[in-house]
Structures are given as structure tokens and as C-alpha cells.
Homo-oligomer: A and B are copies of this chain.
């Protein structure tokens, strides 16, 4: 499935161009930094703390080895990570058996905001990746506090037709990640 995506690929934004490629374990520090470079993520504990590195490394390993998931990074010509997003292909019964493409964890480096990289990334997902993956339904949720992100997704043609609910489970200590 996601192995079929034709990557790496180059995408263009008005002022720049970046390459989208699959994340590798060598990207760990850059991805941790990108997560912490966002106030809402940082508020949830993603602060690029060295103590959390083993948990992030294990998660990256799980994503890389999961055939239904792909963590992608957008890199500039110096191979510096300037953006990331995760794709999950979800087979489903609804809508006459439509496959869904879920987008999670869209992040663009704060130094690159308004560069058009975010739009270029999302347009690649809806105009190329979804078609290659035969997924007619692309979906994502965005924190209700991210007003700018909501305008961004609406401009791209996304419809805010749903309410996103979360439930936080306290795992027993033996199962803590």
C-alpha cells in the first residue's frame, strides 16, 4: 500500500522547493524538534526532552515498520527537515467500501511558515498520494484552537463536517510507553 508511493518526490512552493521522502531513524532529532516547535504540541509534553528520546525512537520504529503507516519529511536542498506529516491508509466499509487516507501530525518549521510548504505538502496528498493509494476520502482532525490551520484547510477544499473527540486512557504502569 504505502510502499507503493513514488518517493522521494520534489514539490514546489511559490518561494522554494522541497523534497518529500520517507523518514528514517536518522531524522529522529529533527522530528522531535519540529514537534516541540509548536505551542500546542509543546503544551502536550512534546518538548524534545532527551529523556523522551527512547519513547520517540520506539514510536518512529513502529511507524516505519507498519505497512499501513508512513511518516514523511519535507527536506530542503541541504536535507534539513522543514516539515513532516504522517499518512495512514484505512480500509473501510462506509461509503461503499471506500478506503480512507488519514493525515496526522502535520508540522512545518516555524521559520518556514507562510512559505507555501504546508500548502504544497497538502496539495501533494490530495492531488497525488490519495490517487496513487486509491483512497477517495482524505481526513484529518485539527485542534479546535488552531484557527489559522482551519482557514488553511478550508482554502485547500477540506470541509469541516465532523467533530473530533478524544479520550485519554491511563495505561497501567507496566504498559506505559
Contact = CB atoms under 8 A, between A and B. Distances in A.
Contact of A172 (B66, B69, B131, B158): B131
Contact of A137 (B35, B144, B166): B166
Contact of A97 (B55, B94, B161): B55
Contacts of A67: 67-68
A170 interface: yes
A46 B177 contact: no
Interface stretch (A74-82, A85-93, A110-118): A85-93
Copies in the complex: 2
A136 B177 contact: yes
Contacts of A94: 35, 41, 44, 46, 104-105
Interface string A101-123: 01011000000000000000000
Contacts of A92: 59, 63, 86, 104-105
A164 B171 CA distance: 26
Contact of A93 (B35, B131, B175): B35
B158 A165 contact: yes
- Closest 8 interchain pairs by CB? A162-B164, A59-B97, A62-B91, A158-B165, A141-B162, A55-B97, A138-B167, A68-B68
Given A60-B97, A137-B166, A140-B164, 9 more contacts: A45-B95, A86-B93, A92-B104, A131-B169, A137-B168, A137-B169, A138-B166, A139-B165, A162-B164
Interface of A: 31-32, 35, 41, 44-46, 52, 55-56, 58-60, 62-63, 66-69, 71, 86, 88, 90-100, 102, 104-105, 126, 130-131, 134-144, 150, 153, 156-172, 175, 177
